Amino acid sequence: MRFTADDLVASVLYRDEAVLVLNKPYGIAVHAGPKGGVTLDAFLPDLRFGAPEKPQLAHRLDRETTGCLVFGRNQKALKRLGALFRDGLVKKSYLAIVCGRPQPEEGVIDLPLARRSHDKRSWWMKVDPAGDPSLTRYRTLGQADGLAVLALAPETGRTHQLRVHCAAMGWPIAGDRVYGGDRAMAVAPGLLLHAARIELPFYPGKPALRIEAPLPEPFRQILESLRMSLPVETILPGGQA
């Protein structure tokens, strides 16, 4: 998949003098990895919009995850955003299509996570009783044809947390080639996980910035096949980064 600077400029969801939020496309990495490929780094100068500095990432999303991605437009803003994410004050809400029918339909996944390998280059994770505490709230929004649409709210921000938690519960995210296997890949060729909303209490004394990202087309197509319509504003639970 090829990207241009114009594609990313068109995907900007929010911009002020300090903060920029992008609707990250599928298939673009936020940082260079061992497999190479296109990364956001190459396009950051094109997202300056007249600012003296290029924007810097305040957090990360997986290469295959779409949706809200936050940048600081200067060092002061980046430091402020970093503190908000670190202190768990940022609320993040995701949508996912999973293989299976979660029971109960709403609940909390409490499974500690650790790296699968001691190799620092590996990002793959596993459920491990000795791992870091990891909590995810979920709610089933609809079910059809052996699939379910979930709203997911991570209370912690572990690597691959939502993907590992869903797979461990027996309902992997559709299109997850790492944790979902053939069952997940039979539904979609790419991961159906979307960072649909983010809330940033960035400006003291003012309401939190609340940004929502439209669903990507592959996600929409499967929802249409399931005859589902999701008003994001009304169905997403809050959650912390």
Q: Is residue 240 part of a domain?
A: no
**Residue 139: per-residue pLDDT:** 95
pLDDT digits (tens, 9 = 90+) for 108-159: 999 999 988 665 556 789 999 999 999 999 999 989 999 999 999 999 999 9
pLDDT per residue over 37-56, tens digit each?
A: 778 988 999 999 999 999 99
Looking at residue 49, its pLDDT comes to 96
Of the given ranges (29-33, 54-58, 162-166, 199-203), which has the lowest mean pLDDT?
Answer: 29-33
Task: Enumerate residues 6+ apart whose C-beta is below 8 A from 94.
Answer: 67, 151, 152, 153, 154, 162, 193, 194, 195, 196, 239
Query: Which token pair is 97?
Result: 């299509």
- If one counts the domains in the chain, the total is 1
In a domain, 12, yes or no: yes
172: nearest Cα among 159, 186, 157, 158: 186
Output the CA torsion sign for 106, 158, 221, 68: positive
- Is residue 16's pLDDT more than 90? yes
Q: How confident is the model at residue 36 (pLDDT cuts 50, 70, 90)?
A: low
Q: Is 138 exposed, middle or buried (0-12, 13-18, 19+ CB in 10 A)?
A: buried
What are 70-93's pLDDT values in tens digits? Answer: 999 999 999 999 999 999 999 999
- Could you list the residue range(s) of the whole structural domain that residue 149 is in? 5-235
Helix spans in 53-179 (H): 75-86, 161-168
> Can 62 be counted among the known catalytic residues?
yes
Domain assignment of residue 23, yes or no: yes
Residue 221 lies in a domain: yes
Among 62, 110, 145, 176, which one carries the catalytic annotation?
62
pLDDT tens digits, 87-111:
999 999 999 999 999 999 999 999 9
Note whether residue 92 is domain-resident.
yes
* pLDDT, tens only, 2-12: 778 898 999 99
The pLDDT tens digits of the residues spanning 172-218 come to 999 999 999 899 999 999 999 999 999 999 999 999 999 999 999 98
Within-domain flag for 241: no
pTM of the model: 0.91
* CATH classification at residue 34: 3.30.2350.10
What per-residue confidence (pLDDT) applies to 123? Answer: 73
Q: Is the pLDDT of residue 231 over 70?
A: no
Q: Nearest to residue 96, comparing CAs of 6, 166, 182?
A: 166
CA geometry: angle at 176 spanning 174 and 178, to 5°?
Answer: 155
